[in-house]
Structure 1
Amino acid sequence: MMTAFKNRIFPTITNEAAIACIGLYCMAVVMGYGRFLFTATLPDIMVQLSLSTTIAGWLASINYIGYFIGALIAMFVPQRATWQVMTLWVMVSIVTTMLLVVPSMSLNLWYIIRLLAGIASGIAMILSSSFVIQNLSPERRSVLSAVHYAGIGVGISASAILTWWLLILGYHFDVIWLVAGLTSLPLLWLLYTIKPRQSQHTESQHIRAKQHISVHQAYLNFKHSLYEAVAGHHKALALLSVSYVLAGFGYISSATFLPVMAAQRLTTQTYAGLMIWLVVGIFAMLSNPLWGALAKRIGEIKTLMGLTVLQAFGMCLPIWFDGAIGLYGNAAILGLTFVGMVSMTLTLFKNINPAYSNLLIALATLAYALGQFLGPLVTVALAGQDDNFNAGLLVAAIGLIIGLILLILFHRQSPTSA
């Protein structure tokens, strides 16, 4: 009787479209809220807590350090434990989101919370992608995986709308983060409905396997897998990895401070920063199917090259046009390009050695996280006392062009994979 009641409360969902939609919700929570809600609320945070641009940059970068650590941890998660570890870190992501409602926290506590949020984002993003894609049939994988990744754009849009709505009602960042956390809670129930159902015999086998594998042996297994994954592909992986570092560096330099730039420049428009951030989210939602269709026609590497050029152009718009045109243009191009660049690059990493695709995706995420960590710090350092972000945007554009050159060399080095 208890089993029947439990099955009614937690039904098992096996429909592929439903799983992809749950994956979308997961990405919206751990990426849209866990990472990008900080961007939407940053102008209010800086005003309410009297934070300097330098501290704001460090709070952003500490989150990306966490993302780097999370990607590193995800590399060691065995396939059979994907759902359990993913669900645990989704819980951490929601808790760290709601913790920012606590009043009068010290700056050190902020750093710790944003670090944990970054770790949760890194782990949950990689493992949820792995889990969702594994549960999709090959013929529906390309369409439904695009639904899953659209969660990033949905989360960015939700963060902008939520912040806008609550600021109009007279609330501030603390209530915004609390509401974001509360609206994330249904995800935990949905994740339970897609929990892999295993027999007791299978579970006992896994327990015995865990008992017999030592930490040292696990390290040796990982080392062997890493060697096998990169063997014969060192140059191609190096070129693609460095270009991905520069891609992370390039986009985050704008993504972190875009609403702050809007508050500086568009002083007559009260919520210009949130409008601009909403533009990023809407274009990010719409972009992935578009670039997926283009990649089928011309290939991932050519699509990625085009996106890199377009993003570099977008970085220059606020430099060339000081008003709304430059900022809204940058926002639209940022939304159009960054999710597509992630999707295309991860596909290229998988193509290099498909047998070790999960490991290579984790390595790629480490590279991207490194670029994201450096971006805000360099941008803040170049902004100076006047908080002028133009120099940071120019450096980001230059970095993207260098990344384009590396992509061209990668294509010549490894035309089959590309």
Structure 2
Amino acid sequence: MRRRLEVYLNRETVHLVLLGMAATGMGIGLGRFAYAALVPGMIEAGWFSERTVGLMGAVNLLGYLLGAVTASSFARRYPVHRIIQCSALGIVLSFLLCILPQPSGWFYLWRFIAGMTGALLMVLGPASVMRLLPEAVRKVASTCVFAGIGVGILLSATLVPMLVKHSNSFGWAALGIAGLLVFAYMFRWPAVSFSNGQHARALDRADKRALLMAGVGVVIVAYALDAAAFVPHTVFWVDYLQRHLGWSSAAGGFQWALFGIGAILGPFLVAMLSARFEVSHTLLIALLLKSLAIMMPTFLHAPIFISLSSLAVGALIPGVVALTSGRLAELVGLEHHAWAWGLATATFALSQAFAGFGFAALYSGSFSAGSVFVLAGSLAMIGVFCLLLIKQHRVQV
């Protein structure tokens, strides 16, 4: 046991995990989630209308999709560590250059850049860390890098709303300064190649089709179903507790904090499970538990069950992300992981966009609020059945 801890707590391993956490925290926590906390302040300060800030969110998603599908192509053409560093800088500038009111076109531009660079960080950050980690610790340590998502969620849910109460510009500036500190650390990102040695052969169209048909496509479908499944918890959770279950705003806020804490702990918990079991089995169990945790609030309203749902769904959002990345690496190998993970990331974002509109219509329509969580959990359960169809550990092309 002590020997194993020494391996995992090796200085270089810890450094790589922290770099990976910085990339996922910047890419999702700041690049995407933090914007939602800034929206009320911009509307109240009269910077933009509700429609305009909504379109800015859509532009951010468009950039995220483009970054996800082009990440592996960029990685073959340019130094990966430079792409990661420039992407982190793009996130920082997207906040610092929007501190003061500007024409809407200026904000559209930087929301698009934040989305695209955020996707590059989410795809290439974990993929490059996975290549740099020693094989003995790769499976577990590469899972922990996704804890950065939870840090970003907690930051956007707590610090930003407090600052925006004083001044909308304070919120933008604080995120820019926080990002600048993380960027300074990421400047130490080691060089890593996606284009030489074992990674020289690029996939052609026939190879990609073969990989998708042999199991990669099923994993991506399950991942897309998971992306849609947790939308109600990230959009309607606090509102459901307050308006439909009669909870106070303080109690609702506490549940959102539990959600963020769970998101930080989740990758470490699934990493421990991955050390004992195969990634494929751990992913199945995690998605099954997530499905049940999503549906739980419809039937069990006691505080203990609501808190369990907050923690479990929060933990299993980055947990399933990490396990899906690891499962794709098992199926395609490190040499093609960036391509598969980029495609999965793009599909994930697209699924969430459609789910967001769909669940919003159901939640505010004649469909009961509690039933929305049942439907969402059912999507995750379908993902479980999809994963049961895959038998391969590695697909050869």
Return the TM-score normalized by structure 1.
0.77
Change (3 A) 1:408 1:385: closer
**Secondary structure class of the residue paired with 2:256:** helix
In the TM superposition, what is the alpha-carbon distance from 1:289 to its structure 2 partner? 2.3
Preserved CA contact (<8 Å) 1:34 1:117: yes
Corresponding residue for residue 283 of structure 2: 304
Alpha-carbon offset, residue 409 of structure 1: 2.0
8 Å contact 2:328–2:340 — kept in the other structure? yes
Match 1:177 to one of 162, 167, 172: 172
Tell me how far apart the structure 2 counterparts of residues 83 and 67 of structure 1 sit (CA, whole Å).
19
Pick which of 128-137 and 240-249 moved more. Answer: 128-137
What aligned pairs does 1:270-349 form with structure 2 within 5 A after superposition?
270-272=249-251, 274-320=253-299, 328-349=307-328
Give the CA deviation at 1:130.
Answer: 2.4
Counterparts of 1:231 and 1:395, CA distance in 2: 32
Deviation at 1:366, TM superposition (A): 2.1
Change (3 A) 1:173 1:144: farther
Matched position secondary structure for 2:111: helix
Consecutive unaligned residues of structure 2, counting only runs of 5 or more, are: 1-10
Aligned to 1:231: 210
Tell me the distance in 2 between the aligned counterparts of 1:60 and 1:150.
24
Give 1:105 deviation, angstroms: 5.3
CA distance in 2, matches of 1:386, 1:42: 27
Amino acid corresponding to residue 331 of structure 2 in structure 1: I
Q: CA deviation at 1:386?
A: 8.8
Kept after mapping to 1: 8 A contact 2:154/2:261: yes
- Structure 1's 139 and 222: CA in aligned 2 closer, same or farther, altered over 3 A? closer
Deviation at 1:317, TM superposition (A): 3.3
Structure label with greater radius of gyration: 1
**For residues 328-353 of structure 1, what are the alpha-carbon distances to aligned partners after superposition, in whole Å with 9 as ceiling and x for unaligned?**
44321221211111121122212222
Q: What does the per-residue CA deviation read over 1:302-342, in whole Å, with 9 as the maximum and x for residues that have no partner?
A: 22222222222222234335686675443212212111111
Q: Tell me the residue number matched to 1:89.
A: 87
Quickly say closer, same or farther: Cα 1:363–1:171, change in 2 above 3 A: same
1:378 aligns with 2:378: no
Q: How does 1:222-261 map to 2 (within 5 A)?
A: 224=204, 226-231=205-210, 234-261=213-240
Does residue 126 in structure 1 map to residue 123 in structure 2? yes
Aligned length: 377
Q: Sequence identity of aligned pairs in percent? A: 21
CA-based RMSD of the aligned residues comes to 3.6
CA, structure 1 residues 130+178, in 2 after alignment: closer, same or farther (shift >3 Å)? same
Shift, 1:24, TM fit: 1.9
SS of 2:73's equivalent in the other structure is coil
Cα distance in structure 2, aligned partners of 1:28 and 1:305: 25
1:351 and 1:223, CA in 2 relative to 1: closer, same or farther beyond 3 A?
Answer: closer
Task: State the partner residue of 1:357.
Answer: 337
Deviation at 1:364, TM superposition (A): 1.8
User: Which residue does 1:101 correspond to in 2?
Assistant: 99
1:409 to 360, 385, 389: 389
Out of 19, 22, 36, the residue aligned to residue 22 of structure 1 is 19
1:151 paired residue number:
148
Amino acid in the other structure paired with 1:377 = F
Q: 1:154, 1:285 within 8 Å by CA — same for their partners in 2?
A: yes
- Counterparts of 1:267 and 1:172, CA distance in 2: 31
The answer as to whether partners of 1:249 and 1:371 remain within 8 angstroms in 2 is yes
Counterpart of 1:395 in structure 2: which amino acid? L
**What is the SS of the residue equivalent to 1:77?**
helix
* Secondary structure of the corresponding residue to residue 188 of structure 1: helix
1:267 and 1:372 map into 2 onto residues whose CA distance is 28
Query: Secondary structure of 2:184's partner?
Result: helix
